[in-house]
């Protein structure tokens, strides 16, 4: 059974609240080590429980494998992995390499698209991905909600949800 910390549950609740108000593209900010993967796995489990497809996107193999492991643990559904060298499956949840999606330009059916390390979303590959899902809910997660050129991500996301400060996070993890 998944038990989220209070600040994690707060972020999950705020995300669903934003979506309920018609805000489609939500960016969630949480410091490194705060549990972004477990949070998006918890959110994904809600969609899977309703039979809705989920796509998780990352840019490095270690993040793809970490996401796959956490999502499996939380949802009890083995996700497919869309990446060169992996055999495709028709799982309700897909964890994908942004590079593979961009090159293949075939996208799985998803009601929810989760983007790990969402500060990379200004890249053309991510913009094409988001264009392919005009009706899906979008959840981006990052510790640094700004692009590498210093600008924010307002042209990509509609709403930013910030979590507790790093100092508070460290204190909460000690308890």
Q: What is the pLDDT of residues 87-141, one digit of tens each?
A: 989 999 999 999 999 998 889 999 999 999 898 888 889 999 999 999 999 999 9
Residues near 160 by beta carbon (within 8 Å), at least 6 away in sequence: 26, 27, 29, 145, 153
d(CA 41, CA 22): 22
* CA–CA separation, 106 and 35 (whole Å): 30
Sign of CA dihedral 63, 27, 127, 44: positive
Domains in the chain and their CATH numbers?
Answer: 6-174 (3.40.50.300)
Question: For the chain, what percent of residues have pLDDT higher than 70?
Answer: 88
Nearest Cα to Cα of residue 67 among 77, 57, 53: 57
- What distance in Å separates the CA atoms of residue 65 and residue 79, rounded to the nearest whole number? 10
Task: Please tell me the predicted confidence (pLDDT) of residue 56.
Answer: 96
């Amino acid at each position: 059974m998944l038990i989220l910390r209070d600040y994690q549950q707060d972020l999950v609740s705020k995300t669903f609240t934003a979506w309920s108000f018609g805000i489609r593209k939500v960016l969630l900010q949480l410091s490194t080590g705060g549990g972004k993967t477990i949070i998006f796995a918890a959110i994904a489990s809600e969609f899977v429980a309703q039979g809705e497809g989920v796509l998780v996107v990352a840019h490095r193999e270690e993040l793809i494998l970490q996401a796959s492991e956490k999502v499996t643990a939380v949802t009890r559904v083995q996700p497919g992995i869309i990446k060169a060298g992996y055999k495709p499956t028709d799982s309700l949840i897909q964890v994908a390499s942004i590079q593979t999606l961009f090159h293949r330009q075939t996208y799985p059916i998803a009601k929810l698209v989760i983007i790990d390390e969402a500060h990379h979303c200004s890249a053309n590959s991510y913009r094409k991905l988001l264009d392919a899902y005009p009706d899906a809910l979008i959840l981006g997660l990052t510790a640094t909600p700004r692009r590498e050129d210093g600008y924010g991500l307002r042209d990509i996301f509609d709403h930013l949800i910030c979590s507790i400060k790093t100092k508070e996070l460290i204190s909460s993890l000690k308890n």
